[in-house]
């Protein structure tokens, strides 16, 4: 039972290519800032985190277009849940436009 618990709640300290604060993987090696919490690459608390795969079932992902208010960098995502709030290039705040249809 204890083994079962640990296999389901695997804690990881692997921060390769991940945000040191919220452990979200960076989408691109060009990203200098976490787009979810605005933490600079290589900074953060680097706490152990629960390494699990998100649910793969559900409605199709929603397309969102994010544009940086500061430098104008723009990118699209297709995810069910996307809490992007910061520009990965400069760490500035972003505007998000959601479109259910392409």
Query: Which range binds Zn ion by CB under 5 A, 8-16, 46-54, 61-69, 75-83?
Result: 61-69
Contact between 90 and Zn ion (CB under 5 A)?
yes
Rounded to whole angstroms, the Cα distance separating 7 from 67 reads 39
Terminal-to-terminal C-alpha distance of the chain: 47
Q: Which is nearer to Zn ion, 4 or 52 (CB)?
A: 52
- Cβ-count burial of 9 within 10 angstroms (0-12 exposed, 13-18 middle, 19+ buried)? exposed
Binding residues for Zn ion, rule: CB under 5 A, are 19, 21-22, 34, 36-37, 39, 68, 70-71, 73, 87, 89-90, 92
């Amino acid at each position: 039972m204890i083994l079962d618990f640990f296999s389901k709640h695997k804690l990881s300290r692997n921060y390769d290519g991940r945000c040191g604060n919220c452990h979200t993987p960076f989408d691109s090696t060009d990203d200098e800032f976490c787009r979810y919490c605005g933490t600079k690459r290589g900074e953060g608390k680097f706490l152990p985190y629960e390494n699990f795969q998100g649910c793969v079932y559900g409605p199709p992902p929603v397309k969102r277009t994010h544009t940086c208010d500061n430098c104008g960098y723009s990118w699209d995502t297709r995810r069910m849940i996307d809490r992007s709030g910061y520009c990965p290039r400069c760490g500035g705040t972003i505007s998000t436009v959601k479109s259910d249809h392409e």
